[in-house]
Structure formats: C-alpha cells, structure tokens
Amino acid sequence: MAYDSDNIFAKILRGEIPCDRVAENDQALAFNDISPQAPVHILVIPKGAYVSSDDFYSTAEPAEISGFHALVAQVARDAGLVESGYRLIANHGADGGQEVFHFHMHVMGGQPMGPMVVRR
C-alpha cells in the first residue's frame, strides 16, 4: 500500500489539525488518542511517512527506529506506568485492525489491560 499523505496523522504532523501533544523528539511525536481505551492511551508516531509497522521496520533508518522507541519508552515512563505496567500495541493491516495508515504505537495503561487478545 502506498502512503497517503492525506491520512489524519500526516495532517497532525503538518499542523493542519490539532492534537493533544504529550512529547516529541527529532524522530517522533506523541499525543493522546482522541478516543482513549484506557486511563492512559498515548499514540507515538514517527515523523517520517511510513504506512505500517512492516514499512517502518523494513525501510526506516536505524536512527529513526531508535528515536521512535526512545519516545515510546519516555512517554510510558513519564506517565508513571513503569511500576504498574503498560501495554504497547501496533496494529498492522486488516487482521491487525489498523485504521490509520501512518505507523503508530499505542501506549496504554493506568488499569489492568486484560487479556492480550479476544479469541474467536
């Protein structure tokens, strides 16, 4: 799938629509999910244009990947989740339930997060 520069997270990165910014570094931006599924629900997105986890991990520069993960760890730490625990989720494609096609990691916590998956 080609990257669509009109996706909602691309618009957030360009400042065309607002976000509730949490943190930022050279490689990534973190902001609160608009429809939180837990007391803490932060999205971390790379600043580069990557459709999905497959695209990001196979084509991003090592510095982008390490900077992205540094911000994931930082926002979880700054939200006070290290002791209580948290969950990281990256949905890829249809079976993963991906809705926004700019790669992102969900950082979720502040409550027990329950079973890892719903078995069907």
User: What residues are labeled active site?
Assistant: 104
Residue number, 62 or 97, with CB nearest to ligand 5GP: 97
CA distance 52 to 59: 11
100 contacts ligand 5GP (rule: CB under 6 A): yes
CA distance 69 to 63: 10
99 contacts ligand 5GP (rule: CB under 6 A): yes
Residue number, 97 or 115, with CB nearest to ligand 5GP: 97
Min CB(20)–ligand 5GP separation in Å: 7
DSSP conformation class of 96: H
53 contacts ligand 5GP (rule: CB under 6 A): no
Residue 99: CA count within 13 A, CB half-sphere: 4
What three-state secondary structure class fits 94? helix
Interface residue list for ligand 5GP (CB under 6 A): 8, 19, 31, 33-35, 43, 91, 97-100
